Each structure stands twice: as C-alpha cells, then as structure tokens.
Amino acid sequence: MLTLGFSGGWQLIHENIYDLQSWNCHDSACVLLENEKVIFAIEEERNNRIKHTNKFPFKSLYLCLKNTDIKLDKVDLIAYYSSKENLDIITKRGFLNNAQVTTTDPVSFFQSLFRKGFNYEIDPAKLCFISHHHAHAMSALALSGYESSLVTTFDGEGNNCSGMVFEGEGITLKQIANIPPSKSLGFFYLYVIAFLGYGIFDEYKVMGLAPYGDPKRYSKLFQTFYTLLSKGDYVIHEDKIVSSLFNLGIPRRKGEPFTQIHKDIAASLQENLENIVFHVLQYYKQETKQKNLCMAGGVAHNCTLNGKILRSGMFENVFVQPAAHDAGCALGAALYAYYNANPMAKKPSKLEHVYWGTDIGGSPSVLNQLMQWQDFITYDKLVNVSEQTAKLLADGYVVAWVQGRSEFGPRALGNRSILADPRPEENKERINKMIKKREGYRPFAPSVLEEEVDEFFEVPPHQKQFPFMVFVVNVREEKRKLLGAVTHIDGTARIQTVSRETNEKYYDLIQSFKKFVGVPVLLNTSFNNNVEPIVDSVQDAVVCFLTTELDYLVVGEYLVKKKEVSWKNHLSLKISLPPHISLHQVKKLDSDGNFNNFFCIGNSYDRNFQLGVSSKVFRILMLANSEKTVESLLQEDGETDERKAQRILEEIMELWSQRLILLCP
Ligand SMILES: [Fe+2]
C-alpha cells in the first residue's frame, strides 16, 4: 500500500490568496510510505528555498513520485495533517473572504488545489484528514520502537489545541489529555522571546542563549507567569508576561546587543518551561506507569529540555521524533492513515535514520552539475574521499560535505553538513562569521562515533544511540577543553552519534579524522547560509559554497575549490527571479513633501517584506528571464561605464547572497 502524507498551507509558490502569514501552516512537507516504511520524505523548504515555507508541497510531491518512480494514480491514501472540521471552517471562511476561492468544503478544496497545482484529479475516497496532534503523536509512537509509552505533543497551536497527552500501545493512541491554546507552551516561549528581539522560528537561538544567564535572578517573577495546578494541569498568565517584562527595562530589538538582563530572562524562560513540562510529565507518568516517553510537537525541539528529561531518569527510555515540528506531521499523518486502514499491520522497528530526501546521484551526474560552474570552481575526483577530506579537516579547514540522500527534518546529520575540527574554540567564531553570519553565542554540535560516545559525553548507561541531535548532554569534564568548539558555555553539547550501519561514509570520515588527530568527533553544522534552508541539490551546494567563505566543498567523490575570479567573470551569469519574488515600483511622498519613485523587491509569503533596490538594478531585474546574462542586460540598459557596472554587479551579488535572485551559468 502506498500512502502520501502532507503538512503545510494551500497556496502555490507565487500565490498568497489566503494571506497566510509565516506563522500559519508553516513547515510544509511531503512523505511517501510503502506500507509502514518511509521511501521518500522531504520538506518543501528544501525545494522552494523558502525557510519554513507554508506553500503547498507540490515540489516535494513531485520529487517523492519521481525518485520512487511511482505514479500518483498508484497511491492508495492521501493524508493531510488537519482535522476535517478545522479545514471545513477554513474553507468556508476562505470562500466568504476571497472571490478567488470557489470551494466550501475540505474535499472539493483539495480536489481543486491538486487540479490547479498538479493537474490531477484526486479520488475523494483516498483523502484522509488527520488531526494535527494525532499526526504529531503517531510520528513519535510508530517510530519509537517501544511496545508501549507515554506520548506528548506540545507545540504552539494546531487544530485549536496546543498539545496532547496519549498512552500508546502498539500503534494505538489513547488520548488522555488535550491542552488548549490558552495553555500553549510554544506561545509561552514566544511571548517571552519577543522581549529578547526574537520571534517564531527563533526559539532554538534563545535555548542557546539561556546558559549565559542566571535563571535565579528572575525566578520569582517567572513564577507569576503561570500556576501549576493539580493533576498535571497548569494555567499561563499571558497578561502578566508582557507588562512584567517591560518593568525590567526596554526590550531588545532584533540585531541589538544582549544585556545580562536578556540573558537572565532567557535562562529563566528555559528553567520555567522545564518546570511546567516536568509537572505535566510527573503526573502522567504516575497515572500511566509508562516507562517510555515519546515526544513530538515543536517544543520537542528544545534539546536542553529533552536532555534534562533523559537525565532525570523519570523514564527508562526517551524517544524524540527528529522532525518534531510540523513537517513531522506529514510523516505522522501518513502513518496514521496507513494504520487506520491496516490496524493489524506491523509496527516499524526503532527509527535509525532520516536520510529520506534527494539523492545527489552518482559521480557522472555530480560531475555534470559541477562542470556547469567550471568558470568559478575546480573539481578533482578524490581517490579516498574520507581520508582526504579528514586530512583537510585535521589541517584546520572548514569543509562543506554533501553526500547521498538529504536528511528529513531540521538537522544536518552528515549528508548536508559543514564540518570542522571540534577542538579549537575559535572555530565557533570563525564559522559563525564565515558562513552563518549569526550570533556568536550559539553553539555548534558534535558528531561522535557511536561506540566512543561514552569517552567524551555523559550518557545514560542504557541509552547510547543519539543519531538525531535532539538531546543536550554533558561533555565529560575532562574533555571540555579538548572539544572547545562544540562544548557550550555550560559544559553541554547537542550530540549526534554516528554508526557505520546508518551512514558509512560519514562514519569513515570521522574515523579517518581520528587517525589524524586522535579524536573521533567532528563539528557538524547545517550547510546553508543565514537566510536559506539547508542545501538539498548539488546546485544549492555550489551556490552556497560560492557565496560564503567556506574553504572547501566535497560533493560525492569530488573535491571542489573556488577559482580566483575577477568581478567581470560574474557578468557571464544568467539572471532570473525565484517564483516567490515580485518587483514593485511605487510613487510616494518623501519627508519633504515630494513624490518620488521607489523600487523594491517583495515576496509571496511575507507582506511586511520589502527590500529597496536601485533603479538600475530594478530595470535589470525587470528584464531578467534566465536566458540573458548580467552583461547583456547591462548593455540593453545602456550601461557603458565600467565603474558603474561594477557597482551594479555588487548590488546583484548581494541579492544573490540573500537568495532573492537566481544566478546560474
Ligand atoms: Fe504542531
């Protein structure tokens, strides 16, 4: 049986007819199951290159089918991560508010969507609507490998609910608690981090900031933000949060420096989130006597919290579904629909890997793609990829490493990674500056050979496998100095254990690195810059390599280096706009009362986004069609002055770094 699972919003990449904001229906994804086994899974952001995109995952669907050579006709079930009742309200509201919406019920809504986006007529009998939190829960339960467990799904909000608690037996979920949006732990986190200059999708940054603060400083204040009740219940006092935080001083705006107040708030927030979650878990642990815990939902990406639950010993085993955010609902919805149709089907064994995405292909295909960029890069086939790459890492270089199939979920686990020596502490700063241009306080994660995890990290005696970077554990005290680049200020690390069975190439690489330097650990961070999702294709990898200061790129068997090029070489690149980008010319009053022309770039998913560009660049972008080079467009625009042309190109290159335009050979 073939089952497709979907998460995300309902618009095509260039549309915003529902005016969905980035916090609605984010993290679109598509998952294809053959019986209970995942045969392809990918988040739409990897394909449409919009972080946390809420566009319907048609590109992902296309890849799922293409890579498995399956026709959509052959798919038996199509599952979406929302209840029918919830979608019914949405479609009816959409119909009332927007003349472009012509359907008033979920089934015809999906039929029209597939007709428009995929030119396909869905058989309504195949459609299944799975409630948001049941999808989260099933993704964790089914892949945990546990016979029975307690299952929690804390998040912001989905289907008018911010979390559920279940008892799971086999593949059956018995719901025992429903947590309303007013008690949302995801929102609790967001209310506070707004004061720190952060918003949705920044939660993990605050988790990294927390160890720099003292949670005791505001512990009394934070305890007024919520009340713990009996039977694992609690109340959140949203009204108190904003006004109380303002009493501490002026909030930090995005980009401003952090004061100790901000760091202490982050620390208090982390501690109090943990307090509430432990309060809920303790009660349901006692009630159900379950020895195992499964977690999904956005809050399960709080790896510090996960590590504390693990260390507390409250549960013998803890499983966190690695795509715990809403992309994981595509997985859970598919599994739920499959088991609903096949209640006697066997439960999968414990999840071992998530290398379910795009394959870079064999060497001829990789070479072919690299050759297109030959004016900008050199590429050499390596005799021993692991050993030669390990030597570069041992020599102190920062290497982007792209192999096999991409990972499903937010973590690069050794197939779309930037790697470096985990020892020199200065590597933190160096990589943050050269690639990520991100806050210097944020830690990098270590990948360690599975059988050597004990030597470097404090892990429970009965749980040694941590393949998904979802738990923060203590680095052994005597190793903290040695692993300076991956040990956080509080002596912890968000580890990934690597086994030969699940990723032979990455395992061999770390083992080779050990031969050179004696340490079976690498610094592993996702391969992307600060504005884009993790790279997926070879093309994405080359673009990211060329627009950052990375030392080397290894794709498959090829070692890629940058050529020394002058600015004029870039004139030969062809320019086009991604489908979600739009160009706007507006005439508006300036502060002197004069009407002026303004030129800017917008997009189809954030109505607040507007980036001004020069009139010259605007005209070039208006003419861009992926056929013409930058040089020919400059000529068409009558630009003959070399210095001016260089300035225009610099502006274009910056837009490329921001991924607002496409350049290709
Ligand atoms: Fe969710």
Average pLDDT, the chain: 95
CA 25–ligand 1 middle distance (angstroms) = 9
| pLDDT greater at residue 607 or residue 187 | 187
CA of 40 to the centre of ligand 1 (A): 21
How many whole angstroms from 618 Cα to the centroid of ligand 1?
39
- pLDDT value of position 21: 77
Over 90: is that where the pLDDT of 214 sits?
yes
> Residue 581: is its pLDDT beyond 90?
yes
pLDDT tens, position by position, 178-189? 999 999 999 999
Give the Å distances, CA to CA, from 45 to 33, 201, 482, 551: 20, 14, 36, 26
Structure confidence at residue 242 as a pLDDT band (50, 70, 90):
confident
pLDDT in tens, 363-410: 999 999 999 999 999 999 999 999 999 999 999 999 999 999 999 999
Look at residue 18 in the predicted model and tell me its pLDDT: 76
- List pLDDT tens digits, range 505-517: 999 999 999 999 9
User: DSSP assignment of 204-255, as one string?
Assistant: HHHHHHGGGS-TTTTHHHHHTSEEE-STT-EEE-HHHHHHHHHTT-PPPPTT
CB 270 within 8 A of CB 262: no
Rounded to an integer, the average pLDDT of 196-203 is: 91
Q: What spacing in Å lies between the alpha carbon of 7 and ligand 1's midpoint? A: 10
The pLDDT, as a whole number, for residue 105 is 92
- How many angstroms is it from 182 CA to the middle of ligand 1? 15
Alpha-carbon gap, residue 332 to 337, rounded angstroms = 8
Query: Please, is 123 exposed, middle or buried when counting C-beta atoms within 10 Å of its C-beta (0-12, 13-18, 19+)?
Result: exposed
| 111 strand-pairing partners | none
The CA 254 to ligand 1 mean position distance, Å, reads: 25
What integer pLDDT is reported at residue 24 of this predicted model? 86
Is residue 38 exposed (0-12), middle (13-18) or buried (19+ Cβ within 10 Å)? Answer: buried
pLDDT at 441 over 80: no
Q: For residue 322, report the distance from its CA to the centre of ligand 1, in Å.
A: 13
Ligand 1 center to 206 CA (angstroms): 19
Is the pLDDT higher at 305 or at 254?
305
Which of 98-112, 114-128, 172-186, 431-445 comes out lowest in average pLDDT?
431-445
436 band by pLDDT with thresholds 50, 70 and 90: low
Burial profile 218-236: b = 16 or more Cβ within 10 angstroms, e = fewer: beebbeebbeeeeebebeb
Ligand 1 center–CA 294 separation, angstroms: 15
Asked if residue 94 has pLDDT above 70, the reply is: yes
Burial 442-472 (b: 16+ CB within 10 A, else e): bbbbbbbbbebbeebbbbeeeeeebbbbbbb
pLDDT confidence band for 212 (50 / 70 / 90): very high
More confident residue, 420 or 567: 420
Measure 557 CA to ligand 1 centroid, in angstroms.
Answer: 38
* C-alpha 545 – ligand 1 centre gap (Å): 33
Whether the pLDDT of residue 574 is over 70: the answer is yes
Percent with pLDDT over 90 in the chain? 88
Instruction: Tell me the pLDDT band of 57, cut-offs 50, 70 and 90.
Output: very high
Cα(459) to centroid(ligand 1), Å: 29
The answer, yes or no, to whether residue 440 has pLDDT greater than 80, is no
Distance of CA 213 from the midpoint of ligand 1 (Å): 29
Q: What confidence tens digit (pLDDT) does each residue in 514-548 have?
A: 999 999 999 999 999 999 999 999 999 999 999 99
Alpha helices in 419-567 (DSSP H): 426-431, 453-456, 504-517, 538-546
- For ligand 1, the distance from its centroid to the CA atom of residue 163, given in whole angstroms, is 8
How far, in Å, is the centroid of ligand 1 from the Cα of 157? Answer: 6
Q: Are 137 and 153 a contacting pair, CB within 8 Å?
A: yes
Provide the residues around ligand 1 (an ion) whose CB is within 5 A: 155, 158, 326
What DSSP state is assigned to residue 257? P
The strand pair at 662-664 and 574-576 is best described as antiparallel
Per residue in 293-318, pLDDT (tens digit) is 999 999 999 999 999 999 999 999 99
Query: What is the pLDDT at residue 418?
Result: 97
Q: Residue 435: what pLDDT?
A: 80
Report pLDDT digits (tens) over 160-172.
999 999 999 999 9
